[in-house]
A and B are shown apart, each in its own frame.
Chain A
Amino acid sequence: MRRSTAAAVGTLTGAALIIGVRLSVTPPEAPVAQAPVADLQDSSPAPAKKPTTKPAANGEGAKEEEKAPEKAKTGFKDGVFKGNAAANPYGKIQVTIKVEGGEITGADATYPTANDSGTINPPAIATLKQSTLGATSADVAAVSGATYTSESYVKSLQAALDAAKA
């Protein structure tokens, strides 16, 4: 019994992970994947043993209850069930599952598309920024360049700088 509950939680967590991918957001401090999506308010009145799940790090919106019906073989009543909305720093996420014939046949989620989420999507990827190639005769103390030979040094800007100081 607990095994199928765990499987269901796994499915829902999977759905939440997909949300994370869609958002392109992987903030370590925002445990989207651990949102209390398994709080199925409309599920069977016979409560399963409450698992001692740790609260989500942000602590909001988590009721920390997992009610899994004991009667049906799969543990689920048919219907459409919504989880509690889980708030995280980027907005609210609410997962819905659809149960048919005691099996979860669909899972979906709302996820933030506006406000703060816009500022973190896309994520900052390390890159070099492109600019116009400059060409100046600025006042410098030294010049870095591809390794010159003793012969080509003579014609280099560094040689001119050295000559100016000598």
Chain B
Amino acid sequence: MGTTVSIELADDRPEEELRRLIAGVCDWLHEVDARFSTYKADSEVSRLARGELRIDDCSADLRHVLKMCADLWRDTDGYFDAYAGGSLDPSGYVKGWSVEVASARLADAGSHDHYINAGGDIRMRGRHPEGGPWRVGIRHPWEADKVSWVLALNDGAVATSGTYERGDHVINPRTGQPARGLRSVTVVGPDLSVADAYATAALAMGEAGIAWLAKRAADGYDSAVVTDDGRAFSSANLPAAV
């Protein structure tokens, strides 16, 4: 999917075991890329999009992905749209989901203190190597070497969508035009795929996304937003570090 994944395991385990666990995560993420990338002509997603594969013949994973994309399309009033670019592109869900799966597998394999950062979207569990929660910075939308918020989390996900990194890549599916109004949207919650979808949807909504995000707090998804003109907003229960 053309990004970089950082993995840190803080568990007090033999290095050999930790390396094996990290290798397992990398294998899984490469497998996901091969199966779900829209850039690979022979991926399952590409074959489905070309009509060579029927939905009933898709893997259980892909059917799960398609169902979740449909659910999130509904939950976001259509602003999270796997078809926003015209053809099927579930990457916006697949990335968060694949990291969720990777983190859960790590936990099952005995790693209870780790984080996985896939291109700026992070899933973490447990504690920092020095104890205490993981401290996660939210990148400043104009100053790449600065952070505008610092969060402290033990278990949870932090996803950020923004226009500063790859330009107008988020399309408002209602207008077909690039999203305008918000420069950076960060969503914090229990599930990375949902947090990522919410962040993308709110960015597509523009300034109306601020009010929409406020309502997601009741479901455990807090948020921090920066507008195009530099105003900052955050929900009351954003887990800010002290």
Contact with A along B93-135 (1 / 0, CB 8 A): 0010000000000000000000101011110100010000011
Residues of B in contact with A, size category: 35 or more
Question: Is there an interface contact between B164 and A146, defined as CB atoms closer than 8 Å?
Answer: yes
- Interface pick from B43-51, B53-61, B75-83, B223-231: B223-231
B210 within 8 A of A: yes
**Closest chain A residue to B222, Cβ basis:** A128
Find out whether the CB atom of A156 lies under 8 angstroms from the CB atom of B144: yes
A160 to B146 alpha-carbon distance, docked (Å) = 12
Chain A interface residue bracket vs B: 35 or more
Most chain B CB inside 10 Å of its own CB: which residue of A137, A156, A162: A156
- Residue A157 interfacial (CB < 8 Å): yes
Q: Is A157 in contact with B139, judged by CB distance below 8 angstroms?
A: yes
Bound Cα distance from A152 to B147, whole angstroms: 17
Residues of A bordering B, CB below 8 Å: 126-150, 152-153, 155-162, 165
Contact sample, A vs B, 26 pairs, CB 8 Å cutoff: A126-B215, A128-B225, A131-B232, A133-B140, A133-B232, A134-B148, A135-B146, A135-B148, A136-B150, A137-B146, A138-B241, A140-B135, A143-B120, A143-B138, A144-B158, A145-B184, A146-B160, A147-B120, A147-B121, A147-B165, A148-B3, A156-B144, A157-B139, A158-B4, A159-B4, A161-B6
- Residues of B bordering A, CB below 8 Å: 2-4, 6, 8, 95, 115, 117, 119-122, 124, 128, 134-141, 143-150, 158-166, 184, 186, 210-211, 213-215, 217-218, 223, 225-226, 230-236, 241
